[in-house]
C-alpha cells in the first residue's frame, strides 16, 4: 500500500470530519485511532487519518504523539502529512497548533508551513487573517464560551504567533486569487522574512483548491477539512489518485439498541438536545455530581438508559449553558471538570455497549475521544454523511459483531441532528 496522503487529527470528531471530506472527494480513506497495531488489516486506501485526543493536552505530549504518527505515515508512503486542527482554531496560547506545526515542519526539513483552518461549507472563512464563523468574527461567535479553549481573538496570525516558536505571516486573498505561482512567491518572501508559518485567507472552495495544489509541493501543512478537500482535489486532478466513485460505503443495517451521548456545550448541541427531547427520553446529568460522586451519577444514567433502550433510542447529556459551565469550573477547575465529565461519559458508553448498544451517537470532540478510547475501537471505515463534517463510522477490528458510531463536532449538524443520525444508522 502506498499512501497518497497521511493525516494526523488533533481530535476524533475532527478526524471523522476530515475523513468524510477526503472520501467525498473520491479518496479511499480509513480513520485509525492513533497509530494502529501492526496486525490491523487495512483495505487498499489512498488516505489515512490517524485520530488523536491531543487538542487540550500539554504541548509536549501532543508533539510526541504527532511525531510518532508522522513516522508511521511516512513509513506507509505518505509524501504529504496534514495536521488536522479545528476549523475554529481551537487552541490556547500554550498550543497545540503552533508547537505541533513547528515540530512537523522541522522534522520534514521545510522552511515554512501553510496553515489554513477554513471550511466554507460549514461557514468558516478567513479574510486578512481573521477567522469568521458564519457572519461573526471568531471572538464574537459562541466559541468565545468554549469550556476548554475560549477563542477571544479572531486574528489567526496573532493567535498562532503566540503559541509558535517561528514567526507567522499572511498569504492574503488577493495573492491566492492570483494563483499558485503568486502563493509560492509569497511563501518564499515570508521565508526570507524569517517566518516559519503562513496563515492563508479563504473565502470559497476555489481558494482551497489553489492552496491544496501549493500544499502538495511541500511535505507538511496544517488545516481543517477544507484544506484536506483542496489537497484531495489536487491529488485527483494531478492523476496521483484515481477518484473512487465514492470513497465511503452506503447504508448498512446494524440493528440493536441505539443511544446518544452529549458532552459538548456548544450552542448547536444545546439546541439539538432540546429538539431530541421531542422524540426520545433524555437524561440531563448533574455535572457537579459527576465531579463529586461520579460513580453514583453515572450509575443513575446507566439505569435510566438500560431501562429504556429496549424500546428505542435514549440521550444522556452533561451539556450546560455558559453560566452552568462557569459554575462547575469555578468549583473544580477547568481541566478537572472536563476530565471528570469525560470519564463519566466514557463509563456510561462502556456500560451501554455491554448492554447491547451497537449504534452510538456522541456529540463533542473531547467527549468522543474519551468514549472511543474507552471502547478501544482501533479504526473506522466511512459510511454515509449525516451532516456536513459528520459521517457514519463503521468500527473496524472489534469483537462482538458490527457497530456504527457518529462522532459529532459540537458545532456541527442541524437542530434535528440526533434523529438525522439515527435515520442513517439503521
Ligand X SMILES: O=C(O)[C@@H](O)C(=O)COP(=O)(O)O
Ligand Y SMILES: Nc1ncnc2c1ncn2[C@@H]1O[C@H](COP(=O)(O)OP(=O)(O)O)[C@@H](O)[C@H]1O
Neighbour-count burial of 295, counting CB atoms closer than 10 A to its CB (0-12 exposed, 13-18 middle, 19+ buried): exposed
Residue 260 makes contact with ligand X by CB under 6 A: no
Residue 224 makes contact with ligand X by CB under 6 A: yes
Q: Which residues of the shown chain bind ligand Y in the complex (CB under 6 A)?
A: 147-148, 263-266, 287, 318-320, 324-325, 328-329, 337-338, 341-342, 364-367, 409-410
Q: How far is the CB of 405 from ligand X (least distance, A)?
A: 14
Number of chain residues interacting with ligand X (CB under 6 A): 16
Q: How far is the CB of 417 from ligand Y (least distance, A)?
A: 12
Q: How far is the CB of 84 from ligand X (least distance, A)?
A: 7
CA dist 251 → 85, 248, 384, 409, 422 (Å): 28, 10, 7, 21, 12
Please give the distance of CA 119 from its chain centroid, rounded to a whole number: 12
Cell numbers linked to 187: 511563501
State yes or no: cis peptide before 96, omega within 30 of 0: yes
Q: How far is the CB of 112 from ligand Y (least distance, A)?
A: 29
Among 3, 4, 5, 11, binds ligand X (CB under 6 A): 11
Span interacting with ligand X, options 28-36, 80-88, 129-137, 349-357, rule CB under 6 A: 80-88
Q: Which of 402, 368, 391, 365 is nearest to 23 (CA)?
A: 391
Q: Answer with the entry of ligand X, ligand Y, none that 389 interacts with (C-beta below 5 to 8 A by kind).
A: ligand X
Q: How far is the CB of 118 from ligand X (least distance, A)?
A: 10
Give CA–CA dist 118/261, Å, rounded. Answer: 28
**Three-class SS state of 99:** helix
Q: Which of 161, 231, 216 is nearest to 190 (CA)?
A: 161
Cell numbers linked to 426: 439503521
Q: Answer with the entry of ligand Y, ligand X, none that 148 interacts with (C-beta below 5 to 8 A by kind).
A: ligand Y
Among 21, 175, 248, 409, binds ligand X (CB under 6 A): 409
Q: How far is the CB of 370 from ligand Y (least distance, A)?
A: 8
Residue 411 makes contact with ligand X by CB under 6 A: yes
Of 212 and 306, which CB lies nearer to ligand X in the complex structure?
212
Of 34 and 365, which CB lies nearer to ligand Y in the complex structure?
365
Residues in 93-152 at the binding interface with ligand X, rule: CB under 6 A = 119
Residue 13 makes contact with ligand X by CB under 6 A: yes
Neighbour-count burial of 286, counting CB atoms closer than 10 A to its CB (0-12 exposed, 13-18 middle, 19+ buried): middle
Give CA–CA dist 391/389, Å, rounded. Answer: 7
Cell numbers linked to 151: 477563542
Q: Answer with the entry of ligand Y, ligand X, none that 320 interacts with (C-beta below 5 to 8 A by kind).
A: ligand Y
Residue 14 makes contact with ligand X by CB under 6 A: yes
Residue 87 makes contact with ligand X by CB under 6 A: yes
Residue 383 makes contact with ligand X by CB under 6 A: no
Of 199 and 316, which CB lies nearer to ligand Y in the complex structure?
316
End-to-end CA separation in angstroms for the chain: 32
Q: Which of 127, 150, 154, 129 is nearest to 139 (CA)?
A: 154
The residue whose Cβ lies closest to ligand Y is 410
Rg, the chain, Cα only? 20
Q: Answer with the entry of ligand X, ligand Y, none that 31 interacts with (C-beta below 5 to 8 A by kind).
A: none
Give CA–CA dist 290/383, Å, rounded. Answer: 33
Of 247 and 257, which CB lies nearer to ligand X in the complex structure?
247
Asked if 85 contacts 124 with a C-beta cutoff of 8 angstroms, the reply is no
Q: Which residues bind ligand X (CB under 6 A)?
A: 11, 13-14, 17, 86-88, 119, 224-225, 364-365, 389, 409-411
Amino acid at each position: 500500500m502506498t499512501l497518497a496522503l497521511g493525516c494526523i487529527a488533533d481530535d476524533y470528531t475532527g478526524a471523522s470530519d476530515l475523513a468524510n471530506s477526503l472520501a467525498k472527494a473520491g479518496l479511499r480513506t480509513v480513520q485509525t485511532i492513533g497509530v494502529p497495531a501492526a496486525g490491523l488489516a487495512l483495505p487498499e486506501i489512498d488516505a489515512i487519518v490517524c485520530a488523536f485526543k491531543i487538542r487540550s493536552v500539554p504541548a509536549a505530549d501532543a508533539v510526541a504523539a504527532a511525531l510518532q504518527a508522522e513516522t508511521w505515515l511516512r513509513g506507509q508512503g505518505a509524501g504529504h502529512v496534514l495536521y488536522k486542527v479545528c476549523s475554529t482554531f481551537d487552541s490556547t496560547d500554550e498550543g497545540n497548533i503552533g508547537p505541533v506545526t513547528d515540530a512537523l515542519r522541522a522534522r520534514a526539513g521545510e522552511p515554512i508551513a501553510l496553515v489554513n483552518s477554513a471550511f466554507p461549507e460549514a461557514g468558516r472563512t478567513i479574510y486578512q487573517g481573521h477567522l469568521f464563523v458564519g457572519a461573526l468574527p471568531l471572538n464574537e461567535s459562541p466559541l468565545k464560551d468554549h469550556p476548554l479553549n475560549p477563542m477571544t481573538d479572531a486574528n489567526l496570525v496573532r493567535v498562532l504567533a503566540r503559541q509558535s516558536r517561528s514567526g507567522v505571516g499572511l498569504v492574503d486573498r488577493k495573492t491566492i486569487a492570483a494563483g499558485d505561482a503568486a502563493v509560492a512567491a509569497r511563501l518564499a518572501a515570508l521565508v526570507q522574512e524569517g517566518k516559519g508559518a503562513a496563515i492563508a485567507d479563504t473565502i470559497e472552495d476555489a481558494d482551497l483548491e489553489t492552496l491544496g495544489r501549493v500544499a502538495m509541493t511541500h511535505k507538511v501543512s496544517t488545516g481543517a477539512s477544507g484544506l484536506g478537500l483542496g489537497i484531495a482535489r489536487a491529488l485527483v486532478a494531478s492523476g496521483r489518485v484515481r477518484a473512487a466513485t465514492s470513497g465511503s460505503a452506503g447504508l448498512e443495517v446494524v440493528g440493536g439498541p441505539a443511544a446518544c451521548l452529549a458532552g459538548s456545550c456548544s450552542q448547536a448541541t444545546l439546541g439539538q438536545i432540546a429538539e431530541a427531547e421531542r422524540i426520545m427520553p433524555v437524561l440531563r446529568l448533574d455535572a457537579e455530581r459527576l465531579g463529586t460522586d461520579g460513580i453514583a451519577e453515572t450509575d443513575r444514567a446507566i439505569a435510566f438508559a438500560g431501562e429504556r433502550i429496549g424500546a428505542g433510542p435514549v440521550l444522556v447529556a452533561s451539556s450546560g449553558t455558559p453560566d452552568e459551565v462557569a459554575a462547575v469550573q469555578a468549583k473544580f477547575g477547568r481541566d478537572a471538570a472536563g476530565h471528570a465529565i469525560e470519564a463519566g461519559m466514557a463509563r456510561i458508553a462502556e456500560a451501554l455497549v455491554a448492554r447491547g448498544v451497537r449504534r452510538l451517537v456522541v456529540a463533542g470532540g473531547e467527549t468522543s475521544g474519551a468514549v472511543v478510547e474507552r471502547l478501544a475501537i482501533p479504526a473506522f471505515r466511512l459510511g454515509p454523511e449525516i451532516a456536513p463534517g459528520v459521517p457514519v463510522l463503521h468500527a473496524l477490528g472489534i469483537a462482538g459483531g458490527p457497530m456504527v458510531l457518529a462522532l459529532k463536532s459540537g458545532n456541527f449538524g442541524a437542530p434535528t441532528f440526533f434523529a438525522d443520525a439515527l435515520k442513517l444508522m439503521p
